[in-house]
Amino acid sequence: MRKKINNVVKSNVELLTSPFMTFFRHEASSGIILLLFAILALVLANTSLSTFYNEVLNTQMPLGPAKWHLDLTILYWINDGLMAIFFFVIGLEIKREFLFGELKSLSATILPISAAIGGMIVPAILYYLVNMGQDTVSGWGIPMATDIAFSLGILAIAASGAPRSIAIFLTALAIVDDLGAIIVIAIFYNSNISFAALGIGLVALLGAFILNRLNCRNFLPYLLVGLIAWVAFLNAGIHPTIAGVCLGMLIPADNKNHENSLLHKLEHKLEPWSAYAIMPIFALANAGVTVEGGISDILSPIGIGIILGLCIGKPLGICGAAFILFKLGFAKMPEGAKTTQLIGAGSLGGIGFTMSLFIASLAFDNASYLASAKISILCASVLSGILGVIIFKTSKLFKA
C-alpha cells in the first residue's frame, strides 16, 4: 500500500514538473547550437565572406502593399518577424509559469522576481554611471538581460550535480527577466509613435482577448488578429515583437486539463522551433561583428558599461536582492542549494547574448556604437559563463 502511495505521489510530481523539464532540456541543449551559430557569424564577418554575409542581410524583401511599410531587409525580417515568434513563445512561457509553474504562488515567486528585478536595476545603473552625459547612455537597457538558452546550457554542463532547485530558480529568474526586458523595450525603445496605428494594434489584441473569453480553441483567429497587431505595431513605431508576447499571453489555458489546452499545444509545438531554429538564425544575423576595433571597442564607455553591468552588476543585483530577502525572512534559500551555488547562478545570469543583442540593435543607430556593443556583449557573456563555471566547480570545496 505504501509503495502504491509513493508511486502515485511520484507520478503527480512528474506530471507537474514535466513542462519545466521539457523547457529546460530544449533551452539547455539549444545553448550549444546558439554558440556554434554565433561563432559562425563571427567567422563570416571577419573573413573574405564578410561582403557576401552583409549583402545577404541587407537584401530588401518587400511584402504586401507599399502603405504597409513592409519593404524590409532580411536582417529586419529576422529581428522583427522571426523574433516576434520567439517573443510569442516567451509570452506562452510566462503565462504557463504564472498559472501552473514555478511562479504560481507568491511564496514561490518572491525570490526569482526580486532577484530578477535586482539583476536588472544594478546593471542598468552601472552602465548609466559609466556613460552618463554621453549619447551612448541610451544603451542602459543592454546589460539588463539574461539569455535563458546559454545560461541553462552552461548550468546543465558545468553544474550537473547542482540541486534541481537552482535550475528552477535560474529559469524562473530568466523568464521574469525576459518580461522586464519586454516592458523596457515597450516603454523606452520606441519612438515617433503613430497613435492611429497603435490603436489598430490594440484593437486587434482586444480581439484576441475576446476570442479567449469566448473560449475559442482554434488558433487561426488568434493568428489573424496577431498579424494585424504585428503590422499595426510596426507602423506605429512600437517594436512589433511586443505584439508577439502580448498575443502569447492571451492564448487560452485550461486549469483543469492543461495538457489539452491551446497554450500547452502551441508551446509544445513552437518551443523546439524557437530554441533550435529562430534563436540560432538570430545569432547568425546579429553576432557577426568585425573585431577590427578590438580592445578599443571593449574599453569604450559602451564596452565598460556592458561588461561591468553583465559581469558584476548582474550577480551583485541578483544575489544582493536574494540575500536581503533571506535576511528579512521573506524567502528561503532554494532547497538543497549552497550559497556558492546561488552566486554561481547569479553569475550565469550575466550571460546576456540574445536579448542584449536585440536591445542593442534598438538602442543604437550608429554603426560603430552597435559594433562596440555587440563585441562587448559577446565578451561579457563569455566572461560571465566562465565565472559561473568556476564558481560551480569550486562550490564542492565549500560547505556553504
Tell me: the pLDDT tens digits for 33-51? 888 888 898 899 888 888 9
List the CATH number of the domain containing 64.
1.20.1530.10
Q: What pLDDT sits at residue 160?
A: 66
Top-confidence range, 83-87, 283-287, 312-316: 312-316
Q: What pLDDT sits at residue 221?
A: 95
CA distances to 129, 142, 317 from 298, in Å: 17, 14, 22
pLDDT(18) > 70: no
pLDDT(126) > 60: yes
CB atoms within 10 A of CB 110: 14
Domain span including residue 133? 26-189+239-397
- Evaluate the CA torsion angle 33, 162, 336, 390 in order and state its sign: negative
pLDDT tens digits along 236-259: 888 888 899 899 999 998 877 777
- Establish if 248 belongs to a structural domain: yes
pLDDT grade for 318, boundaries at 50, 70 and 90: very high
- Establish if 207 belongs to a structural domain: no
- Establish if 220 belongs to a structural domain: no
Cα distance between residue 106 and residue 117, in whole Å? 15
Least confident of 109-113, 196-200, 347-351, 393-397: 393-397
- Establish if 280 belongs to a structural domain: yes
- Establish if 234 belongs to a structural domain: no
- Higher-pLDDT residue of 263, 97: 263
Residue 252 host element (H or E)? none
- Establish if 211 belongs to a structural domain: no
* Three cell numbers written together for 144: 539588463
- Per the structure, the count of domains in the chain is 1
Backbone angles phi, psi at 61, to 5 degrees: -130, 80
Least Cα distance to 26 among 336, 270, 298 occurs for 270
**Reported pTM:** 0.79
pLDDT tens digits along 141-187: 999 988 877 787 788 777 667 787 888 888 888 888 888 888 888 88
Q: What pLDDT sits at residue 310?
A: 96
What is the arithmetic mean of pLDDT over 370-376?
90
- Establish if 232 belongs to a structural domain: no
- Higher-pLDDT residue of 122, 86: 122
Least confident of 5-9, 187-191, 294-298: 5-9
- Establish if 233 belongs to a structural domain: no
Per-residue buried b or exposed e for 64-100, using 16+ beta carbons within 10 Å of the residue's own CB = eeeeeebebebbbbbbbbbbbbbbbbbbbbbbbbbeb
Least confident of 63-72, 296-305, 372-381: 63-72
Q: What pLDDT sits at residue 6?
A: 45
